[in-house]
């Protein structure tokens, strides 16, 4: 007998075996094995122990029909992956049909296996009580970028206790792009990872999925209950003859198309091509031996035995379910806005109908009680947002810390020279987003391009393994020509690491961002910094100056820049340093249709008031400082003369811009 515990993690079933082989997702076995070995050093030893336990418990069967409580965790960005409750229920229905041998296509099982096709005597039902004993419909929904499922083992953030629930994650993509689903053997992984991960379009048979893909979870649950592929421990069907350790499934290479008379390994013995644990594309059955093994797991394995206990039926709400539930709060928003601006939040609450909403934040000047809340932010920095929802059955609230970045409106306009020497950074003007794991941008006091301080990311010792960002205050480029962004950075690769820096710009407070610079891997390494296999700390001479033309954004009064650093996804990156972020250019005060000789100001210099004369009707008056920063607007008098109050202006030199029927002109004004 072969090693039954090895299994490929994904089954993809289509009525057309040719279409299956050519168009459907492949096997996730290597992906899953690599994941688990990162966090379970004795993984292979655990598998051997599980094989022994399963063999000793062979031929056990449930005397009553057990029910496994199931919870689906839908991770989405409000795309097609946010599948309906009905599609999830259809997945439960398929499981119950297949595991109780109620599928009508059993009539076409070939004669060699018709008599051993098994009713597994196991059923599945969505839980109606959550781990806290609160009402649930067995479906959680989370607006979460992890819907693009990566290879990090820590991404199992929502798993309910594995001894009480079968957890299924529904996602948009799986890293590598080849797997449609995967899972692990009972007892082989930490509790949070003991779940099935499946693409949304391989769940159920309606909505984004189809009947041809609907048995993906039938196959995955087989793995979750201890079954190997019927060809044993090879990753792919057709590689070599193998045995799954179940006595009534013949030795086989496995098949990727439906050759019902296939007998490759031990002719003339026909192989069990119609088994749910094969890849043939014509699945119909489990065998009696597979039924025995799965029921053995349910009656002997510590991680599974409580699932079908009478007490668990009560605590998960399988007995006497009640679906009159209070809602669970969930929401999303554009992650950035500007000080003084409104931000709109999208309600994604679930679990029950919502009748009341209350949105709030310590940085907002208001609360909002509409479904998609609107808050006005008067503070800057990384701010929390809270949503409280309710209906007649109860209330729920969630607060998301550091949820929205509110960018400052009071930054320097031009000739900024941020060297990070004076003060502490990040702060509420230079804002840094913290990663979920590892380090983000921080100030160092020992390294700098032109001093002793700069911003850096501890990407060697505390790799964030995701994007971290540094936001600038506002730049006003209304009357600037030759605008240019410059900064100095230092970076050395660690081996072949693919760390990446992107620079983005926005003119609409973060509603949209435009990428104006990108570099990665060896291209990001600063000129004097070679590949470095130890933690990199540069000399000042190793900083490289990068220039970015901002000419396309001249004329915009509300410009913000952000630096986004993405560390090597394998955790093999090195430290990154940035300093001397400068914005330079020339203030230009362009006159159209008028000129300075058409304007008169007196007294000039002035202290509190000044009288303005224009050769044509005055429509609007704007005030700019020497750097071109717009400091205020005044409605015109629709006459040739207007008295301006200037007592609010600090001492210095300003330019008065007058808009009239004939055009615009500027006049210098001195405040003393």
Percent of residues, the chain, with pLDDT higher than 70: 87
pLDDT in tens, 233-267: 655 677 889 888 898 999 998 888 888 988 989 99
pLDDT in tens, 350-390: 999 999 999 999 999 999 999 999 999 999 999 999 999 99
Q: Which of 338, 468, 309, 326 is nearest to 398 (CA)?
A: 326
pTM of the model: 0.74
pLDDT in tens, 1-21: 333 222 333 332 222 222 333
Rg (CA), the chain: 33
Q: What is the DSSP letter of 141?
A: E
Compute CA distances 572 → 414, 421, 651, whole Å.
38, 30, 54
384-388, Cβ contacts within 8 angstroms, sequence gap of 24 or more: 385/331, 385/333, 385/345, 385/359, 385/360, 385/361, 386/359, 386/360, 386/361, 387/329, 387/330, 387/331, 387/345, 387/347, 387/349, 387/357, 387/358, 387/359, 388/329, 388/356, 388/357, 388/358, 388/360
Rounded to the nearest 10 degrees, the angle between the axes of helix 216-224 and helix 85-99 is 60
Least confident interval from 90-94, 367-371, 423-427: 423-427
Query: The domain 596-671 is classified under which CATH number: 3.40.50.2300, 2.60.40.3080, 3.40.190.10, 3.20.20.70?
Result: 2.60.40.3080
**Taking the domain 416-587, which CATH number applies?**
2.60.120.200
pLDDT in tens, 613-649: 998 899 999 887 766 667 888 888 888 999 999 988 8
Domains 331-407 and 596-671 share a fold: yes
Residues marked as catalytic? 220
Q: Which of 430, 432, 563, 580 is nearest to 499 (CA)?
A: 563
The class that CATH gives domain 26-230+293-315 is alpha beta
Give the architecture-level CATH label for domain 331-407: Sandwich (2.60)
Q: Which residues contact 22 (CB under 8 A, 6 or more apart)?
A: none
> Is the pLDDT at 452 greater than 80, yes or no?
yes
CA dist., res. 76 & res. 621, Å (int):
49
Where are the domains positioned within the chain?
A: 26-230+293-315, 331-407, 416-587, 596-671
């Amino acid at each position: 007998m072969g090693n039954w515990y090895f299994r490929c993690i994904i089954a993809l079933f289509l009525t057309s075996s040719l279409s299956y082989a050519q168009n459907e997702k492949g096997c996730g076995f290597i992906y899953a094995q690599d994941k688990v070995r990162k966090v379970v050093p004795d993984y292979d030893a655990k598998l051997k122990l599980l094989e022994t336990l399963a063999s000793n418990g062979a031929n056990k069967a449930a005397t009553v029909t057990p029910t496994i409580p199931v919870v689906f965790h839908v991770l989405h960005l409000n795309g097609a992956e946010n599948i309906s409750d009905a599609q999830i229920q259809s997945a439960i229905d398929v499981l119950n049909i297949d595991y109780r041998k109620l599928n009508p296509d059993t009539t076409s099982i070939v004669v060699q296996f018709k008599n051993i096709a098994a009713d597994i005597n196991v059923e599945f039902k969505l839980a109606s009580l959550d781990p806290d004993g609160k009402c649930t419909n067995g479906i959680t929904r989370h607006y979460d970028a992890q819907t693009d499922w990566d290879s990090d083992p820590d991404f199992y953030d929502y798993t309910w206790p594995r001894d009480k629930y079968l957890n299924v994650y529904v996602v948009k993509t799986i890293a590598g792009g080849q797997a449609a689903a995967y899972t692990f053997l009972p007892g082989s992984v930490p509790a949070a990872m003991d779940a099935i991960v499946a693409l949304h379009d391989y769940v159920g048979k309606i909505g984004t999925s189809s009947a041809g893909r609907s048995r993906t979870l039938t196959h995955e649950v087989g793995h979750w209950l201890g079954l190997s592929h019927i060809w044993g421990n090879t990753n792919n069907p057709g590689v070599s003859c193998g045995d799954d350790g179940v006595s009534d499934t013949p030795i086989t290479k496995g098949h990727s198309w439906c050759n019902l008379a296939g007998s490759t390994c031990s002719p003339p013995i026909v192989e069990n091509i119609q088994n749910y644990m094969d890849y043939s594309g014509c699945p119909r059955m489990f065998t009696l031996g597979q039924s025995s093994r799965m029921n053995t797991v349910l009656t002997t394995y510590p991680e599974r035995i409580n699932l079908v206990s009478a007490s668990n039926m009560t605590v998960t709400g399988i007995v006497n379910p009640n679906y009159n539930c209070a809602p669970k709060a969930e929401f999303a928003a554009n992650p950035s806005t500007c000080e003084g601006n409104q931000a709109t939040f999208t309600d994604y609450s679930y679990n029950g109908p919502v009748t009341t909403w209350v949105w709030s934040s310590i940085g907002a000047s208001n609360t909002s009680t509409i479904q998609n809340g609107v808050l006005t932010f008067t503070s800057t920095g990384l701010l929390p947002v809270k949503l409280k929802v309710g209906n007649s059955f109860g209330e729920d609230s969630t607060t998301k810390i550091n949820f929205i970045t509110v960018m400052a409106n009071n930054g320097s306009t031009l000739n900024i020279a941020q060297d990070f020497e004076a003060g502490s950074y990040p702060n509420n003007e230079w804002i840094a987003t913290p990663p979920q794991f590892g380090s983000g941008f921080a100030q160092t006091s020992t390294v700098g391009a032109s001093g002793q301080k700069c911003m850096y990311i501890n990407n060697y010792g505390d790799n964030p393994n995701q994007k971290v960002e540094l936001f600038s205050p506002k730049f006003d480029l209304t009357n600037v020509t030759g605008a240019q962004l410059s900064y100095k950075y230092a970076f050395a690769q660690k081996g072949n690491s693919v760390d990446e820096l992107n620079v983005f710009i926005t003119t609409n407070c973060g509603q949209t961002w435009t990428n104006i610079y990108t570099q990665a891997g060896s291209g990001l390494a600063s000129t004097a910094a070679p590949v470095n296999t130890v933690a990199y700390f540069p000399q000042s001479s190793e900083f490289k100056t990068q220039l970015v033309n901002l000419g396309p954004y001249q004329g915009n009064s509300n410009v913000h820049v952000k630096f986004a650093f993405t560390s090597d996804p394998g955790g093999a990156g090195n430290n990154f340093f940035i300093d001397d972020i400068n914005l330079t250019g020339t203030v230009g005060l362009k006159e159209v249709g008028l000129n300075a000789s058409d304007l008169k100001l007196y007294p000039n210099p002035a202290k509190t008031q000044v009288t303005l004369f224009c050769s044509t009707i005055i429509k609007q008056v704007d005030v700019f400082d020497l750097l071109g920063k717009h400091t205020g607007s005044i409605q015109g008098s629709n006459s040739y003369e207007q008295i301006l109050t200037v007592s609010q202006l600090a001492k210095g030199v300003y330019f008065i811009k007058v808009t009239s029927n004939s055009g615009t002109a500027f006049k210098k004004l001195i405040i003393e």
